[in-house]
Amino acid sequence: MQEEKTTPGADAPEAPEVPGMPETAEEPEQQESTALAHDRELACQNCAAPLAYMEGENVITCPYCGTTTMLAGYDNIVKIDGHSMLPIEVNENDAISTLITWLSKGFHRSKSYVAAAKLSSVRGLMLPYWIVKSSASTSWHGKKKRTKSTGTGDNKRTQTWYEPVSGRFDEDFTWPEYARENPDEFWGIANIQPGKKSIFPDWGKFWLRLGGSRESSNRDMLDGKIPFDIEAVKNAGMNENLVNGQITQERAEANARGNIKSHQAKKAESKTDVITDVDTTVNVNKVDLVYVPMWELKYSIDGKQYSALVDGSKKELLSAEYPVSKKAKITLFDIFLGIPAIIAGIIGFGNGVGPAKIAMFVLAGLMLAYSLKKGLGSKN
């Protein structure tokens, strides 16, 4: 933790005396509460406004005119031309309703949880991402398991052998690299990379954990992109959390190459039984700094805290934690213990009293007890 040596309020930007500057309508103190602490200052390359930033930040966007400056080393200040943003189409209420709709749909979730949910915070964020437009070409070699039955009767044998296989696949990406070091400052923002786990079910003590999670898909991160518009950011009330970047374009590109290679390698593993060699070539076409609007929501159900991240451009849930409904647990329990119980029952009745029959009574008993306990306890 770094100690703030400045007096409270000293880092709140004063309205600079430059032509074309909009009147600051909001209270400067407001910036203190939610914004991150700042300890450095730089003049905006465009409007000369003082830009407060933190040590380690090197992609700094002016909250007055929207110009982005990149500190590319000592005495090397670069104004980034043509940085952009995804349009802000989702307001605070839309973000809340997106979460509510999502929470009330699907096998693992429940409408009755929505009534029990308490919203504890909603925060509009403009987060800097380096979008690495690239195409990846992957070639792989591996082995595929083959089996063959030979002979008949007692001489029947199953032969197993491995056959060499290989293949090749291509994929285009608008790969998002978050431009900050610590992904935990805001909830869920690192989960939007393709293949990253983005939906986290809370099963409590329940052990039959099936489904309920999801990975982020490879979506077009440049879809609908517009030139950075500081007025739109101000209108949405997101300028309080217009976040500076800490990772330079060069580093982001290198990170993206590495992450794309891992992503492709993981994908190659699903192609055959044993992968012996994967080689991915990543061609980077363009690297854009894009501000992505998002809503971070914190809520609680039955005293437990959960978080969610809603897309600020589309009414879409990007990432979330949620409790699995009791109804889903009962259904899973009944399906996965009920079927073995029935099978055990059929075998059991055929052979008189035996271990299978006892197993049936134990399983059916457990099933009934669990369903009754949970079902009567709550209507979830």
Token reading at 147 = 């089996």
Total residues interacting with Zn ion, rule: CB under 5 A? 8
Nearer to Zn ion, 62 or 282 (CB): 62
Q: Judged by CB under 5 A, which stretch of 38-46, 78-86, 301-309, 328-336 contacts Zn ion?
A: 38-46
- Least distance CB 20 / Zn ion (angstroms): 10
For the chain, the distance separating the N- and C-terminal CA atoms, rounded to the nearest angstrom, is 43
| Residues in CB range of 178: below 8 A, 6 or more apart | 127, 128, 129, 189, 190, 247
- Least distance CB 33 / Zn ion (angstroms): 23
Nearer to Zn ion, 48 or 122 (CB): 48
| Distance from the Cα of residue 155 to its chain's centroid | 55
Longest dimension (CA), the chain: 96
Nearer to Zn ion, 42 or 100 (CB): 42
Strands 77-80 and 68-71: antiparallel
Nearer to Zn ion, 65 or 199 (CB): 65
- Collapsed DSSP state (helix, strand, coil) of residue 161: strand
| Residues in CB range of 221: below 8 A, 6 or more apart | 86, 129, 131, 174, 175, 176, 290, 292
Please list every residue from 113 through 172 that binds Zn ion, using CB under 5 A: none
Answer yes or no whether residue 242 interacts with Zn ion by CB under 5 A.
Answer: no
Nearer to Zn ion, 47 or 337 (CB): 47
Alpha carbon distance 29, 7 (integer Å): 13
Q: Do 295 and 124 touch, CB atoms closer than 8 A?
A: yes
Please list every residue from 69 through 98 that binds Zn ion, using CB under 5 A: none
Nearer to Zn ion, 43 or 275 (CB): 43
Nearer to Zn ion, 17 or 184 (CB): 17
Taking phi over 0 as left and psi of -120 to 50 as alpha, with beta for the rest, 94 belongs to: alpha
- Least distance CB 246 / Zn ion (angstroms): 20
Q: Judged by CB under 5 A, which stretch of 36-44, 128-136, 200-208, 283-291 contacts Zn ion?
A: 36-44
Contacts of 117-122 spanning 24+ positions with Cβ under 8 A: 117/299, 117/300, 117/301, 118/299, 118/300, 118/301, 119/297, 119/298, 119/299, 120/298, 120/299, 120/300, 120/305, 121/296, 121/297, 121/298, 122/92, 122/95, 122/96, 122/295, 122/296, 122/297, 122/298
Nearer to Zn ion, 49 or 85 (CB): 49
- Least distance CB 73 / Zn ion (angstroms): 21
- Least distance CB 45 / Zn ion (angstroms): 7
- Least distance CB 13 / Zn ion (angstroms): 11
- Least distance CB 79 / Zn ion (angstroms): 10
**Which amino acid, residue 238?**
M
Alpha carbon distance 230, 243 (integer Å): 13
Please list every residue from 42 through 71 that binds Zn ion, using CB under 5 A: 44, 46-47, 49, 62, 64-65, 67
- Least distance CB 85 / Zn ion (angstroms): 16
Binding footprint of Zn ion on the chain (CB under 5 A): 44, 46-47, 49, 62, 64-65, 67
